[in-house]
Structure 1
Amino acid sequence: MKRAVKSVIMQGGQGDAIMAAYGMAALHALKPGIFADDVICYPRSLAAPLIQALLPWAKVLPIDQSNGSAHPRFYTSAAKTTLGSAYKNWFGPDWINNFAERRRLASTGYPHPGGVARLARWLTDRRLIGNTRWRREAPDYYAIKMWAPLAEYHGFSEIDLGRSLYATVDVLKTNIGKALGDYRSALTVPTLAVFPSGASFQTMPPAFLARMIAALPGIDIRAFFSPEDPTIDGYRALGIACETTASLNDVLYVLKHAPAVITVDSFVSHLAQLFADGHIAAMSHDLPVHTVHPGAASQIVFKAMPCVPCNYLPKAGQCAAGFKRCGVYDRDDYFDLMLRTIRRTLREV
């Protein structure tokens, strides 16, 4: 008899948790018994209320309450693969996925792992995906990479999982709307809302956004930031109209009502992909196929730098290629593609 998962530990960032929820919904649609009736999800606290709306058939608690959670557990992204976690994958009841480390191995600037780390990854890859040749791994949406081991355990292919991701888009969009409810924000909703800030080198530099605004006269454009984001000062210094979203409902409200929305690859992007009708995904440091939902109607702006994907580093530092901001934002072809995409999107809405 197949074991039903009782706990889902959604490690990683807020955006990773949203992708994990999208994939979990797709698996549940394929076969409800994959997850126990009393399954509990443990994401980061900010994403918890939204994930509860996305997965109404599950219970959601903050990840800091996951100690002692029930087995079998599924870790959607291991913080670090060790010989201990590899041993648990082979001989314990849980799944401790390490898909993100395979992406890191292909990333510019990722430190070369030592022998023990390579062995732990080899054992984990052999157990969870049956493929230790990470150089032959095709790029795919992270939610598929997260859940593929569990899908295979229950007799489903990655193609089945991908099909279900498409099939669940409308339900997920409705569930996000239910999370917003009849909430009305005091924020000014512009014609074009921009969420330019991310945790790493996906951040859209203030100078790029100011150049874009100057090229689009007569269009009401505003940039939106979380309350604790210190980078807002750099945008205000260039005369960019800025707003602060005090809550997740404020973010959802803007996504719902703005005719066009630009996001960098961030937590907000994963919401906009399914909830904003005129979404433009400004991609930079990673391949779009990795983090854009395959069923999203998003318009993608992307030009591949030679160093993409890059190692995930704090944006205040310098990347392995020597940039203090992603070099794609200095490319005229990227800027021109952005303008064409914005104009086309505004004509269509």
Structure 2
Amino acid sequence: MKIPYRKFSPLKTIDFVKIGLGDNLMAWAGLYALLKYGYSVCAPDCTMYVPKAIAPLASEIFREWDLQVEGASFNDAVEYRSPVLTPQAPTTVQQFKSVYMGNDWWLNWAEAIDRVKTGSYYHQKPMSFRQKVRLQVSETILHGRIDWRSAYPDYIGSRIWSPIARRHDIPQAKFLVMLKNTLEPLRQHVRAYAGNVQFTQKAECIVFPAGKSYQTLPPFFCRQIKDSVPDTALTYILPLGDAWMEKYVAQGLEIGALESVDEILASVLQTKVIVTADSFVSHVAQFLRDDFLLILSRDFRENVVHPGAYPRIVAKHPDCALCEYHSREFHEKCPAGSPHCIAFDESAVLDGCIDELRTLLARNTQR
């Protein structure tokens, strides 16, 4: 097993290519906190691999430590130089040895929390003996839990880096303080980057309704929001080729599109009022500002909101939450069998969103 008192060896490879863009931003926050407080978690020649679309942003955030950032695609072969940190689970005997007896960190970060979600893919078949051992050992040795069933939603940037923090004798409460205290300097990097992006589209309020899964604001719900503020020009930004695009258009919404991550950053920075579902954009917004509206349904604040961020939140979690990530592109219904998240059928959710939106609009009008 990984020996708790073994001297920590600074990382030479960090691989975040195979996790989502929003998950990357949360993971960066944890690493940024450790580096900002002076912990030598990375070797001088450490390379961090991230998705190509956000590699320039990562380079800006970590430039004061000369961390080498490389952009890669999901299927690209990444060169691993030990010690390695990756959120992925070990799958080979050599990887098992390198984690539990060596200096690598194959964190298996998501399996435990995914297994306790409602409608999880993992519920479809029982675990093999190998899977049970891997999960239990990962949770006990790396994440400090005696039973994987005790896994609970916590900020992904904390969950990924807490094993490293414990190795540096940082209590979890202290790490939480570090995350909170380093958000503002992190934001300064992101604001500087976004401020240099050429962006000409101007709107009073932009709504980002869609994530890839069923946390998405349904088209009928977006129409109701539009009707509640008839004197405000709302622009709804959707990913190109979104699975529900025709349904949004049918509701008579003003649809826009942004072609790059840089444009998303600039729009969130420059637009007076931002409304977003739980999606990559919500994590971008947290790295830029607090005065935006975040609407949560399938996931909890504790899992997706930076401990130091204070957006305005409207949340409704049905009995089926937390639910498994379920792509709308490939599934016509959510894991619970609904064509949209049933949280948005609740009148209280709509009323809460309208109240918060009107408050934000009024504040920005007064500026």
Partner of 1:109: 119
TM-score in terms of structure 1 length: 0.93
Output the amino acid matched with 1:55. F
Matched, 1:300 2:307: no
Is this contact kept in 2: 1:54–1:172, CA < 8 A?
Answer: yes
Percent identity reads: 27
Partner of 1:93: 103
Cα deviation for residue 149 of structure 1 reads: 0.5
Partner of 2:4: none
Is this contact kept in 2: 1:193–1:224, CA < 8 A?
Answer: yes
Is this contact kept in 1: 2:135–2:148, CA < 8 A?
Answer: no
Is this contact kept in 1: 2:140–2:147, CA < 8 A?
Answer: no
Is this contact kept in 2: 1:286–1:310, CA < 8 A?
Answer: yes
Q: Deviations over 1:92-119 (max 9, x none)?
A: 3210112211111110012334132122
Is this contact kept in 2: 1:97–1:128, CA < 8 A?
Answer: yes
Is this contact kept in 2: 1:89–1:124, CA < 8 A?
Answer: no
Output the amino acid matched with 1:252. L
Matched, 1:266 2:273: no
Give the distance between the partners of 1:103 and 1:133, measured in 2 at CA: 12
SS at match of 1:282: strand
Give the distance between the partners of 2:298 and 2:14, measured in 1 at CA: 28
Partner of 2:26: 19
Matched, 1:61 2:70: yes
Is this contact kept in 2: 1:261–1:279, CA < 8 A?
Answer: yes
- Out of 52, 65, 80, the residue aligned to residue 59 of structure 2 is 52
Is this contact kept in 2: 1:261–1:276, CA < 8 A?
Answer: no
Q: Deviations over 1:155-206 (max 9, x none)?
A: 112222211111111111111122224333132x222211111111111111
Q: Deviations over 1:123-171 (max 9, x none)?
A: 1112202313233334321111111101111111222221111111111
How many residues matched? 346
Partner of 1:239: 252
Partner of 1:153: 167
Within 5 Å, give how 1:1-349 maps onto structure 2: 1-10=7-16, 11-56=18-63, 57=65, 58-64=67-73, 67-75=78-86, 77-78=87-88, 80=89, 82=91, 84=93, 85-110=95-120, 111-112=122-123, 113-116=126-129, 117-187=131-201, 189-315=202-328, 316-349=331-364
Is this contact kept in 2: 1:190–1:222, CA < 8 A?
Answer: yes
Is this contact kept in 2: 1:125–1:132, CA < 8 A?
Answer: yes
> Displaced runs of 4+ in structure 1, greater than 6 A?
none
Output the amino acid matched with 1:8. I
**CA RMSD between the two structures:** 1.8
TM-score in terms of structure 2 length: 0.89
The change in CA–CA distance for 1:286 and 1:86 in structure 2 (over 3 A counts) is farther
Is this contact kept in 1: 2:333–2:339, CA < 8 A?
Answer: yes
Cα deviation for residue 320 of structure 1 reads: 2.8
Cα deviation for residue 62 of structure 1 reads: 1.9
Give the distance between the partners of 1:250 and 1:14, measured in 2 at CA: 15
Give the distance between the partners of 1:130 and 1:87, measured in 2 at CA: 19
Is this contact kept in 2: 1:4–1:72, CA < 8 A?
Answer: yes
Cα deviation for residue 224 of structure 1 reads: 1.0
Output the amino acid matched with 2:70. L
Output the amino acid matched with 1:61. E
Q: Which consecutive residues of structure 2, in runs of 5 or more, have no partner in the other structure?
A: 1-6
